[in-house]
Chain A
Amino acid sequence: MAVSGVLLVLFLVAHMVGNLKVFVGAASFDHYAHWLRTLGAPLLPGSGYLWIQRTVLTAALVAHVWAATSLALRARAARPVRYAHRRPVRGGYAARTMRWGGVIILLFAVYHVLDLTTGHLNPVGDRAHPYGNVVADFAPQRWYVTLFYTLAVLAVGLHVRHGVFSAVRTLGQRTAAGERRARVAALAVSVGLCAGYLSVPFAVTVGLVG
């Protein structure tokens, strides 16, 4: 859970940094997308690096979902009779929503790939010019897409907030001071990711990027 989670978070950070290229300009953004496809050339075949990354990510995702599912199944088995009166988990909203939040994020990721990777659900869907796709996606009249993205990114933020803390703990963080640092770091990563990811659609919607 922790190791696959860490890989996914690293990807999220890299992905966010790439996204921010949108503020540099259309050429730069498109060039970045192109560069990703040619990364590792000529050692690797076309899109070679990308496929390696996709393979690793898929593996991490499968491992993450598998681990989460088996934990959830164990938890269910560990309490065959439920409480009649159950107080919500006090560890926080983030900890409480890890499972359903994870499912929502997974569904979003599928939509997101179909939208901005394959282009099937994108109003433009031009794979050679992703900048245009992004601008079209978050156009002001498509506010509902922006809203949906916002909710999804917030879900990711919550998930990452407990996830980072939990991963650090699972990997053996064991002091009270370390726990405080881990909580702060988890919050920083999740706020940073939310800000980074949300800046793009909002910039498009309000016309800063177009």
Chain B
Amino acid sequence: MNLTLRIWRQPGPGAKGRMVPYRVTGVSPDMSFLEVLDMLNERLTLEGADPVAFDHDCREGICGACGVVIDGVAHGPQKATTTCQLHMRHFRDGDTVDVEPWRSRAFPVVKDLVVDRGALDRVIQAGGYVSAPTGSAPDAHALPVPKADADAAFEAATCIGCGACVAACPNGSAMLFTAAKVTHLGRLPQGQPERPSRVLDMVAAHDEAGFGGCTNTGECATVCPKGIPLETIGQLNHDYLRASRRPAGSRP
């Protein structure tokens, strides 16, 4: 297959960027999307040009490092699939494909397709945890957890923190990411003591990071590579309203 990739090139954080077309030839349908970028980069290197910077690591869809917007869709056309697991058999010979970084004020571009997603770590720092210092735990069977709760918590906990929800959201909101953590910990008995402060503090950190507000368009859930359900946002709203009514208070 031969393709034209139009890739966002931006030399550095403050620099101006633009879409640059590249012709790639000899693409095998068995290649992953990132392997096409690898191939292009090998060629650019030998031609003396600057290779395209992009984030990636595990290449098996679990680390959350990779992610680009392909033809306007975060992680590309295949549902529930990260960019690294997207294979070229989903494209046709001769296609022109637009490749852009996640676009969000909270995710400034570092270079080309690489963005800084530190804002997501800051949302977790605000309360996305259970305060259980090492060594303080009771026996694991001291507190049974209904299977339904454990399963729902697990489903929300599979979020890989890639940021596709932000990239896809017309409002640039990270509410699905935040809600996934609120739901994961809120569905477990271990997460109850901090449940009210967690949701208030995480939403405050989310807003402070510069993410937009949620208007329930559902775009996030359609691109989420892990299929985090939209209901988690309802759970977050539910917890938020309850916590606001009963101000147990944000932590000092």
Asked if A and B touch directly (CB within 8 angstroms), the answer is: yes
Q: Cβ of B216 and Cβ of A75 under 8 Å apart?
A: no
**What is the total of A-B residue contacts with beta carbons within 8 Å?**
112
A90-B222, A91-B219, A166-B216 as given contacts; A78 in contact with B237, CB under 8 Å: no
0/1 per residue, B45-87, Cβ < 8 Å to A? 0000000000000000000000001011100000000000000
Could you say which of B23-31, B137-145, B170-178, B188-196 contacts chain A?
B170-178
The 3 closest A-B pairs by CB, nearest first: A78-B172, A172-B238, A174-B234
Could you say which of A15-23, A42-50, A81-89, A202-210 contacts chain B?
A81-89
Closest partner residue, chain A, to B232 (CB atom): A174
Q: Cβ of B100 and Cβ of A84 under 8 Å apart?
A: yes
Q: Cβ of A78 and Cβ of B211 under 8 Å apart?
A: yes
Complex-state Cα separation, A175 to B238, whole angstroms: 11
0/1 per residue, B230-241, Cβ < 8 Å to A? 111111011101
Does any Cβ of B come within 8 Å of A179's Cβ? yes
* Size class of the contact patch on chain B: 35 or more
0/1 per residue, A84-102, Cβ < 8 Å to B? 1111011100011010000
Does any Cβ of A come within 8 Å of B19's Cβ? yes
Q: Cβ of A75 and Cβ of B170 under 8 Å apart?
A: yes
Q: Cβ of A79 and Cβ of B71 under 8 Å apart?
A: no
Does any Cβ of A come within 8 Å of B161's Cβ? no
Question: Besides A75-B213, A90-B222, 16 other CB < 8 A contacts?
Answer: A74-B171, A77-B105, A79-B172, A81-B17, A84-B19, A85-B71, A86-B72, A89-B170, A90-B218, A91-B218, A95-B215, A172-B238, A172-B242, A173-B234, A174-B234, A176-B231
